[in-house]
């Protein structure tokens, strides 16, 4: 009877020992590490806040997780064991990549240090800020139409522009009216013209300036 109890005790201790080994092995395999770094502008060394940091698995480059850098450019990211690609990006700058191999011997904290992003010269060159000029400007008895706000071909006849003006009409006699008001005087930029010269060529970006005794629009 005593021998039987001893055998059972040994078996239980063996099972417990194996279980502890399995738990330790699993914990070692699933240990997460902390990845830290700071993102800066290469030229100015200023921190880049709200930059995107993505953890991608290798070799398939599947997305695992991501974070954004803080105002001072700092970021913290946790990762499980595996082979990874870290993608660091921000609008107006070139994208940087870092590769990492994480296993059970990797230190709990990985310091990437300062990561400098270079300005994207091509993107900055192609970025143009355009201010849209208003199609019509009214000041007292003067109404100025911006030709570039209307779709007319380069060098189009002035009549083509006039036909596109809101409320504008040209009758068979060549008289121009806007919202029923007959226009007897107008000029294209500094050139005074009358209604008999509607074949005058115009260029996009010019203005058709019309004078009237009362407000047209």
pLDDT, residue 175, reads 73
pLDDT over 90, % of the chain? 33
Residue carrying structure tokens 């040209």: 170
- Residues 86-113 pLDDT 10s: 999 998 899 999 999 999 888 999 999 9
Q: What is the mean pLDDT of the chain?
A: 70
Peptide bond into 59 cis (omega under 30): yes
Which secondary-structure segment (H or E) carries 199? none
Per-residue pLDDT at 213: 40
List domains and CATH numbers for the chain: 33-125 (2.60.40.1120), 132-211 (no CATH)
Instruction: State the pLDDT at residue 174.
Output: 67
For residue 85 the two structure tokens come to 């690609």
| 80 contacts: CB under 8 Å, gap ≥ 6 | 30, 31, 32, 102
- From start to end of the chain, where are the E strands? 33-41, 52-57, 63-68, 74-79, 82-89, 96-102, 109-117, 136-139, 142-146, 168-170, 176-178, 181-183, 185-188, 191-193, 207-211
Q: pTM higher than 0.75 for the full model? A: no
Who has greater pLDDT, 175 or 138?
175
DSSP structure string for 9-35: HHHHHHHHHHHHHHHHHHHHHT--EEE
Q: What is the mean pLDDT of residues 111-137?
A: 71
Q: What is the DSSP letter of 70?
A: -
What does the pLDDT look like over 70-89, one tens digit per residue?
999 999 999 999 999 999 99
């Amino acid at each position: 009877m005593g021998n039987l109890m001893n055998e059972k005790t040994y078996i239980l201790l063996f099972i417990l020992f194996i279980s502890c080994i399995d738990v330790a092995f699993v914990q070692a395999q699933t240990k997460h590490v902390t990845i830290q770094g700071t993102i800066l502008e290469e030229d100015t060394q200023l921190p880049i806040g709200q930059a995107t940091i993505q953890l991608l698995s290798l070799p398939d480059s599947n997305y695992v997780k991501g974070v954004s850098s803080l105002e001072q450019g700092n970021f913290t990211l946790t990762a499980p064991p595996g082979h990874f690609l870290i993608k660091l990006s921000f609008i107006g700058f070139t994208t940087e990549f870092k590769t990492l191999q994480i296993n059970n011997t990797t230190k709990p904290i990985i310091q990437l240090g300062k990561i400098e992003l270079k300005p994207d010269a091509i993107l900055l060159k192609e970025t143009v800020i355009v201010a849209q000029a208003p199609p019509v400007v009214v000041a007292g008895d003067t109404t100025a139409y911006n030709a570039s706000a209307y779709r007319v071909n380069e060098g189009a006849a002035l009549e083509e522009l006039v036909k596109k003006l809101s409320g504008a009409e040209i009758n068979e006699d060549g008289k121009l009216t806007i919202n029923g008001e007959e226009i007897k005087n107008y000029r294209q930029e500094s050139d005074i013209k009358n209604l008999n010269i509607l074949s005058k060529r115009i260029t996009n970006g010019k203005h058709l300036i019309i004078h009237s005794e009362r407000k047209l629009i």
